[in-house]
Amino acid sequence: MTNTIIEPFKIKSVEPISFTTREYRQKALREAHYNLFLLRADDVLIDLLTDSGTAAMSSRQWAAIMDGDESYAGSRSFFKFEKVVKDLTRFNFVIPTHQGRAAEKILFTVVGGRGKVIPSNTHFDTTRANVEFSGAAAVDLPVPSALETDKRSDFKGDIDLNRLKDLIRKVGAANIPLCILTVTNNSVGGQPVSMRNIRETSALLNKHGIPLFLDACRFAENAFFIKLREPGYKDKSVHDIAQEMFSYADGCTMSAKKDALVNIGGFLALNDAAIAEKSRSLLIMTEGFPTYGGLAGRDLDAMAQGLEEVLDEDYLKYRIRSVEYFGDKLEKAGVPVLVPTGGHAVFLDAKRFLPHVPAHQYPGQAIAVEVYLEGGIRSVEIGSVMFGRETDGEFVGAGLELVRLAIPRRVYTQSHIDYAAEAIIEVFKRRERIPGYRITYEPPYLRHFTAHFEPVVKETTPG
């Protein structure tokens, strides 16, 4: 019997990647002010910055692209896309958008506003930004195990139902227009939410007349984890599991750039006719006519095809296992990683990796810089650069200091992953010589994208 789980595809078209020398990368880092967002992608060998919009489309998706109908109104591509989304989610109204945050912006403009409170297992940063921009408050209620990076647990993505109950009691159901569950829960490490948690959240909210929405951008990965880990689901198809997840909800937002396997796209789907009506009016103002929503007809066709392909269990088995393989390899070498490995990324725990670098010297940033220098690999800091603040000269760190290595879908092979693991292990071996960083420039908002850094001990430049 064979045990190796292989890529369930063969490669028809390839894209070269660029090899650079260490000296070149050293210079590129200096020119980018040690901020990996400011590198040119051509200077990156293996790009693990994000799994969003970076998937390789299949030959069938490319064929669907050619079949796209670019009619302004009533496009055939829309009806194909709408049917796939309705069959999967059973929601009555399907509104395409150019990406996930556009769906969030429209939804929270309609239901948010001053005095409103939106609870979640954890809001992703664009979701939080859109909730807060509407004037509402975004409240994260993850389960306590979500913050313990070194402890294994099957469903660390769950929402804490006791805290949700308390919140409803405190602010009143009338002030909670909806609750949103992010599946999988990106901000705590791509951890899945259990079916039980979705069902119980829905039951609790139902008692108070509060709708449940899913932030569904990684719904298929979440459904596969349920199949693997939750009692009673091992013999169910992932398609049926996904349908059951949606059956407890009243609507969803989706960034199709993840589990719909496309490079651009998203949607809002829901049952409430009044909210759908208001959403369509906003859609026309910023995104476009309701049968294209800021996309080309061909994008809708590619999404429709991707939403079906992502539920292929051979694909999901390979996907989840290949991310876990990366995490296991690092863990075996003693590198501190968040466990268990999530669905779309491996997260390094920078506090344990660099205990000599304090939070205000950004240990996650320091590791991300070294990993690029070592192997040309781009990752992203998710810690005090992204979430830390200086309030009245006081530094307030993020709870977790992480480095995310997100795996684009169907893009890299096992040898790319082996190479990336080797580079990280090399960095780990010389961890004691790695300096912290200070910020030399930052913009007023979302500083991680454009901030400038320099190593704290100038004479020990990285490497």
> Considering beta carbons, is residue 101 or 298 the nearer one to ligand P61?
101
> Considering beta carbons, is residue 142 or 435 the nearer one to ligand P61?
142
> What pairing do the DSSP bridges indicate for beta strands 380-382 and 394-396?
unpaired
- Smallest CA-to-CA distance from 95 within 111, 81, 76 is with 81
Among 14-22, 123-131, 269-277, 292-300, the segment contacting ligand P61 (CB under 6 A): 123-131
> Considering beta carbons, is residue 217 or 421 the nearer one to ligand P61?
217
Least spacing, CB of residue 88 vs ligand P61, in Å = 18
Binding flag, residue 202, ligand P61 (CB under 6 A)? no
Among 1-9, 120-128, 322-330, 451-459, the segment contacting ligand P61 (CB under 6 A): 120-128
> Considering beta carbons, is residue 75 or 126 the nearer one to ligand P61?
126
Binding flag, residue 50, ligand P61 (CB under 6 A)? yes
Maximal CA-CA distance, the chain: 64
Residues 6+ apart with CB under 8 A from 164: 119, 141, 179, 201, 204
> Considering beta carbons, is residue 267 or 325 the nearer one to ligand P61?
267
Contact letters for ligand P61, residues 173-192 (x by CB under 6 A): ---------x---x------
317, 144, 360, 449: CA torsion to nearest 10? 40
Given candidates 47, 82, 160, 215, which one binds ligand P61 under the rule CB under 6 A? 215
Using CB under 6 A, count the residues that bind ligand P61.
16
Least spacing, CB of residue 139 vs ligand P61, in Å = 16
* Count of CB atoms situated within 10 Å of the CB of 322: 19
Given candidates 257, 298, 319, 378, which one binds ligand P61 under the rule CB under 6 A? 257
Least spacing, CB of residue 343 vs ligand P61, in Å = 11
Buried b (16+ CB within 10 A) or exposed e, 57-68: bbeebeebbeeb
Binding flag, residue 398, ligand P61 (CB under 6 A)? no
d(CA 202, CA 294): 32
Chain centroid to CA 429: how far?
29
Region for residue 255 given its phi and psi (left: phi exceeds 0; alpha: psi -120 to 50; beta: otherwise) = beta
Contact letters for ligand P61, residues 63-102 (x by CB under 6 A): ------------------------------------xxx-
d(CA 431, CA 429): 6
Given candidates 91, 124, 213, 225, which one binds ligand P61 under the rule CB under 6 A? 124
Given candidates 58, 222, 255, 365, which one binds ligand P61 under the rule CB under 6 A? 255
Given candidates 52, 130, 145, 279, which one binds ligand P61 under the rule CB under 6 A? 52
Distances (CA, A) of 328 to 137, 157, 418: 38, 20, 11
Dihedrals phi, psi of 197, to nearest 5 degrees? -65, -40
Residue nearest to ligand P61 (CB): 100
Contacts by residues 242-246 (CB-CB < 8 Å, ≥ 24 positions apart):
242/88, 242/311, 243/88, 243/89, 243/90, 244/195, 245/183, 245/195, 245/198, 245/214, 245/219, 246/88, 246/89, 246/90, 246/91, 246/214, 246/216, 246/219
Among 81-89, 122-130, 172-180, 239-247, the segment contacting ligand P61 (CB under 6 A): 122-130
Least spacing, CB of residue 270 vs ligand P61, in Å = 16
Q: Which two tokens stand for residue 169?
A: 């009691």
> What pairing do the DSSP bridges indicate for beta strands 251-255 and 212-215?
parallel
Point out which residues pair with 120 in neighbouring strands: 140, 180
> Considering beta carbons, is residue 343 or 435 the nearer one to ligand P61?
343
Helices (H), 293-361: 297-309, 313-332, 350-353
Binding flag, residue 217, ligand P61 (CB under 6 A)? yes
Least spacing, CB of residue 317 vs ligand P61, in Å = 22
Site for ligand P61 in 125-154 (CB under 6 A): 125-127
Least spacing, CB of residue 394 vs ligand P61, in Å = 25
* Count of CB atoms situated within 10 Å of the CB of 444: 5
> Considering beta carbons, is residue 80 or 258 the nearer one to ligand P61?
258
d(CA 131, CA 151): 31
Least spacing, CB of residue 2 vs ligand P61, in Å = 34
Rg (CA), the chain: 22
Q: Does residue 16 have a cis bond before it (omega within 30 degrees)? A: no
Least spacing, CB of residue 380 vs ligand P61, in Å = 6
d(CA 286, CA 294): 8
Least spacing, CB of residue 362 vs ligand P61, in Å = 16
Contact letters for ligand P61, residues 364-393 (x by CB under 6 A): ------------------------------
Least spacing, CB of residue 141 vs ligand P61, in Å = 16
> Considering beta carbons, is residue 347 or 428 the nearer one to ligand P61?
347
Binding flag, residue 120, ligand P61 (CB under 6 A)? no
Query: Using alpha carbons only, what angle is made at residue 263 by residues 258 and 265, rounded to the nearest 5 degrees?
Result: 75
Site of interaction with ligand P61 (CB under 6 A): 50, 52, 99-101, 124-127, 182, 186, 215, 217, 255, 257, 266
